[in-house]
Amino acid sequence: MRRQCRVLDRPTLDALKEPLEKIKPMKAVFDHEYVKRIDGPNKKVAGSKMEHAEMLMDDIRQFKERTGARGSP
């Protein structure tokens, strides 16, 4: 956990520790030509930017179906 970022104060972070630890992030799309120093172990692997975009659009569709979330009206 990255406490040094101080997005949340310590008492709030302590209170939310258990539910936050249960969150499993989705795989991400990184573009090293846009942001040079971004990386991580949880990334999507694809060849082209279009493949990355299609993977991301598919993730959004699946999330909406799974949760019942809707886009803006």
pLDDT of residue 58: 94
Rounded Cα distance between 61 and 38, Å, is: 25
Q: Is the CB of residue 30 less than 8 Å from the CB of residue 41?
A: no
pLDDT at 5 over 80: no
User: Confidence band (pLDDT; 50, 70, 90) for 64?
Assistant: very high
pLDDT of residue 36: 79
Q: Could you state, in order of their start, the residue ranges of all structural domains in the chain?
A: 25-73
pLDDT at 54 over 80: yes
pTM: 0.62
Rounded Cα distance between 73 and 66, Å, is: 19
pLDDT of residue 37: 81
Rounded Cα distance between 31 and 39, Å, is: 9
Mean pLDDT over residues 32-46, rounded?
Answer: 79
